[in-house]
Amino acid sequence: MKRFKYALQGIRVLFDKDHHFAVHLLFALLVAAAGFLFGLNTLEWLFIIGAVFIVLISEVVNTSVEYTVDLVTDEFHELAKRAKDTSALAVLLASLYAAITGLIIFIPKIIVFFT
Ligand SMILES: Nc1ncnc2c1ncn2[C@@H]1O[C@H](COP(=O)(O)OP(=O)(O)OP(=O)(O)O)[C@@H](O)[C@H]1O
C-alpha cells in the first residue's frame, strides 16, 4: 500500500513538473482512439499497448535520472551531461520504436480506409 501511495505521488510529480509525460499520455489517448476507430485485432493492441508503456516508462526513468543528477550537482559536469544525455536517448529510442510500430500497424489501415 505504501509503494502504491508513493507511486501515486510520483504521478503527481510527473504531471506538475514534467510536461513531456502529459504530451506522451495525450498521444497515447489519440492512438487508443485511432485503435478503436480502425478496429485493431488483439495482437495489434498488444503491440500498441507495449509501445505506449515503453515510452511512458522511459519518460519516468528519464525524469528520475534528471532529478538524481540535479540533486548531486547544479554545476556543469561532464558526467552529469553524459547521464542526462544517455537517459534522454532512452526516451528517443522508445519513441522511435513506438513510431515504427504505429506506422506498421496504421498505415495499411489508413490506405484501405481511403481507397
Ligand atoms: N549539470 C549538468 N552538467 C552538464 N550538462 C548538463 C547539466 N544539466 C543539464 N545538462 C545538459 O543539458 C541538457 C538538458 O538538461 P535538462 O536538465 O534541462 O533536461 P531536459 O532534457 O531539458 O529535460 P526537461 O525538459 O524534462 O527538464 C542535458 O541533456 C545535458 O546535455
Cβ–ligand 1 distance for 80 under 6 Å, the answer yes
DSSP SS3 for 40: coil
pLDDT band of 2, cuts 50, 70, 90? confident
CB proximity list for 38: less than 8 A, separation 6 or greater: 106, 109, 110, 113
Interval 27-51: pLDDT, tens = 999 999 999 999 999 999 999 999 9
Q: Is 88 in the pocket of ligand 1 (CB under 6 A)?
A: yes
Cα distance between residue 68 and residue 83, in whole Å: 10
Please compute the mean of the pLDDT values over residues 6-29 and round it to a whole number. Answer: 92
Confirm if 62 and 88 have CB atoms less than 8 A apart.
Answer: yes
Length of the chain: 115
Separation between Cα atoms, residue 59 and residue 52, nearest integer Å: 11
User: What was the pLDDT predicted at 3?
Assistant: 85
For the chain, the C-alpha Rg in angstroms (whole number) is: 17
Asked whether the predicted pLDDT for residue 8 surpasses 90, the reply is yes
Q: How confident is the model over 49-88, as pLDDT tens digits?
A: 999 999 999 999 999 999 999 999 999 999 999 999 999 9
CA–centroid distance, 56 to ligand 1, in Å, is 19
Query: What confidence category does residue 1 fall into, taking pLDDT thresholds of 50, 70 and 90?
Result: confident
Model confidence, pTM: 0.91
Q: Please say whether the beta carbons of 64 and 6 come within 8 A.
A: no
Q: Which of 66, 75, 92 to mutate to test the pocket of ligand 1 (most atoms within 8 A of CB)?
A: 66
Question: What's the pLDDT score for residue 43?
Answer: 98
Q: Grid coordinates standing for 106?
A: 496504421
Residues with a catalytic annotation lie at 59
Provide the CATH number for the domain formed by 2-114 in this structure.
Answer: 1.10.287.3610
* Atom number of ligand 1 nearest to Cα 70: 1
